């Protein structure tokens, strides 16, 4: 679907993690373990090694149990514990298993960050992709406009709301917790500053990671920019915080949302309105499914 609006280039996303003064391939894979334990391994050895390190949590209830069950305490403390505390200001014990479960753990030498068969990025960037998408005579974009100030005058047939769900309902059950980010962009007078697009810093510095996107975008320019990422408590909502209490609070809002859909044709889409920690590809899938649902229910076909 998106190919109508963009060409693609490979999404060659390789990450390293800086721990104990060294850069390790990350997510944890055969090469990480070879470097960490200073040994030579086969796939079979890697499997056995991780099995012997993993602690006994058959049904991990939280992110700490999940990682301990897969890689054991030493690797957990080297790569996960500090990063998670920095990113969420919450102990991995108090976060859903799905949070650290986002990161694959591999027995082979595959160093890519995610498992997907197709890994692509828009050739001219996401801004251009969305620019092309909204370039249509029926689409009007209002920037710097508060949704609540204009919605009453528009009298729409139906609405797709993608903002934070707690804001939509005037925080009537209390605020949902969100996590935000800030970025420090630093230019370097050289072609490349880092050996790969992203470096994670579980145990050093105040930033969580540094991203040199040029490794992926393939721009041919003599200088480079590295973006240092800081996790923030306040600011624009970037992440829902997957934990039991937050899910309970979200479900109270979700009940209201379902009624709003039935009675007023307001549909709730995406990461903020559904309080879900999904990736870009999943958000796109979510949008296409919602589109089909609306076409059906509103008889737009
Ligand atoms: N994580 C970690 N160490 C890392 C990378 C990730 O402990 O080096 C954990 C951490 O809790 C993080 C989660 O896994 O918030 C998800 O990581 P991901 O890189 O997918 O986060 P995103 O890109 O969505 O910020």
pLDDT band per the 50, 70, 90 thresholds, residue 242: very high
Please calculate the CA angle 171-172-175 and round it to the nearest 5 degrees: 35
17 lines ligand 1 (CB under 6 A): yes
Mutate to test the pocket of ligand 1, among 68, 70, 81, 84 (most ligand atoms within 8 A of CB): 84
User: What is the arithmetic mean of pLDDT over 181-208?
Assistant: 98
pLDDT band per the 50, 70, 90 thresholds, residue 221: very high
Q: Give percent of the chain with pLDDT exceeding 90.
A: 92
How far is 220 from 151, CA to CA, in rounded Å? 45
Per-residue tokens: 292: 């089909």
Quick: pLDDT tens for 247-296.
999 999 999 999 999 999 999 999 999 999 999 999 999 999 999 999 99
Residue 109's alpha-carbon distances to 54, 70, 95, in angstroms, are 19, 17, 29
Q: Tell me the β-bridge partners of 231.
A: 181
User: What is the arithmetic mean of pLDDT over 197-218?
Assistant: 97
pLDDT band per the 50, 70, 90 thresholds, residue 155: confident
80 lines ligand 1 (CB under 6 A): yes
211 lines ligand 1 (CB under 6 A): no
Specify the pLDDT at position 151: 87
Report the atom number in ligand 1 closest to the C-alpha of 81.
Answer: 7
Mutate to test the pocket of ligand 1, among 18, 86, 89, 103 (most ligand atoms within 8 A of CB): 103
**CA 210 – ligand 1 centroid, Å:** 13
83 lines ligand 1 (CB under 6 A): yes
Residue 232 contacts residue 180 (beta carbons within 8 Å): yes
How far is 265 from 300, CA to CA, in rounded Å? 13
Specify the pLDDT at position 300: 83
Nearest Cα to 158, choosing from 299, 298, 301?
A: 298
Report the atom number in ligand 1 closest to the C-alpha of 87.
Answer: 15
Specify the pLDDT at position 298: 85
Average pLDDT, the chain: 96
Mutate to test the pocket of ligand 1, among 36, 67, 83 (most ligand atoms within 8 A of CB): 83
Report the atom number in ligand 1 closest to the C-alpha of 17.
Answer: 8
**CA 146 – ligand 1 centroid, Å:** 32
Residue 8 contacts residue 120 (beta carbons within 8 Å): yes
Nearest Cα to 45, choosing from 105, 110, 107, 104?
A: 107
The helix-helix angle for 30-37 and 43-53 (nearest 10°) equals: 70
Per-residue tokens: 108: 């082979």
Specify the pLDDT at position 289: 96
* Residue having the nearest C-alpha atom to atom 7 of ligand 1: 80
- How many C-beta neighbours within 10 Å does residue 256 have? 14
Strands (DSSP E) along 117-177, which ranges? Answer: 120-122, 159-161
State CA 278 to chain mean position distance.
6
pLDDT of 154 over the 90 cut: no
200 lines ligand 1 (CB under 6 A): yes
**CA 171 – ligand 1 centroid, Å:** 28
Quick: pLDDT tens for 45-64.
999 999 999 999 999 999 99
Quick: pLDDT tens for 95-124.
999 999 999 999 999 999 988 999 999 999
* Residue having the nearest C-alpha atom to atom 10 of ligand 1: 84
> Would you give the DSSP letter of residue 176?
P
Residue 294 contacts residue 160 (beta carbons within 8 Å): yes
Quick: pLDDT tens for 224-241.
999 999 999 999 999 999
**CA 103 – ligand 1 centroid, Å:** 7
With tokens 């992440």, the residue in question is 239
267 lines ligand 1 (CB under 6 A): no
How far is 170 from 150, CA to CA, in rounded Å? 16
> What would you measure as the largest C-alpha separation in the chain, in angstroms?
68
* Residue having the nearest C-alpha atom to atom 19 of ligand 1: 103
Which of 141-155, 178-192, 226-240 is least confident? 141-155
End-to-end CA distance of the chain: 18
**CA 29 – ligand 1 centroid, Å:** 16
Specify the pLDDT at position 72: 98
């Amino acid at each position: 679907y998106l190919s109508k609006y963009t060409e693609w280039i490979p999404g060659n996303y390789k990450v390293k993690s800086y721990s104990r003064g060294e850069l390790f391939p990350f997510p944890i894979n055969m090469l990480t373990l070879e470097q960490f334990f200073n040994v030579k391994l086969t796939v079979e050895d890697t499997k056995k090694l991780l099995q012997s390190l993993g602690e006994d949590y058959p049904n991990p209830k939280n992110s700490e149990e999940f990682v301990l069950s897969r890689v054991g305490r030493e690797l957990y403390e080297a790569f996960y514990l500090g990063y998670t505390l920095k990113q969420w200001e919450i102990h991995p014990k108090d976060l859903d298993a799905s949070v650290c479960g986002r990161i694959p753990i591999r027995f082979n030498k595959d160093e890519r960050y995610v498992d997907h068969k197709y890994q692509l990025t828009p050739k001219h960037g996401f801004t251009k992709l969305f620019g092309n998408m909204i370039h249509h005579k029926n689409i009007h974009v209002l920037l710097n406009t508060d949704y609540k100030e204009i919605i009453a005058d528009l009298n729409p047939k139906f609405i797709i709301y993608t903002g934070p769900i707690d804001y939509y309902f005037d925080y009537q059950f209390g605020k949902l917790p969100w996590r935000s980010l800030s970025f420090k962009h630093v230019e370097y007078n050289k072609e490349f500053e880092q050996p790969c697009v992203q470096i994670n810093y579980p145990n050093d510095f105040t930033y969580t990671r540094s991203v040199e996107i040029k490794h992926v975008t393939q721009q041919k320019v003599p200088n480079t920019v590295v973006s240092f990422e800081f996790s923030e408590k306040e600011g624009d909502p970037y992440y829902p915080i997957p934990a039991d209490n937050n899910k309970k609070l979200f479900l109270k809002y979700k009940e209201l949302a379902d009624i709003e859909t039935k009675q007023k044709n307001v549909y709730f889409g995406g990461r903020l309105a559904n309080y879900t920690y999904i990736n870009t590809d999943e958000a796109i899938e979510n949008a296409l499914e919602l589109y089909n649902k609306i076409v059906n229910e509103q008889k737009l076909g």
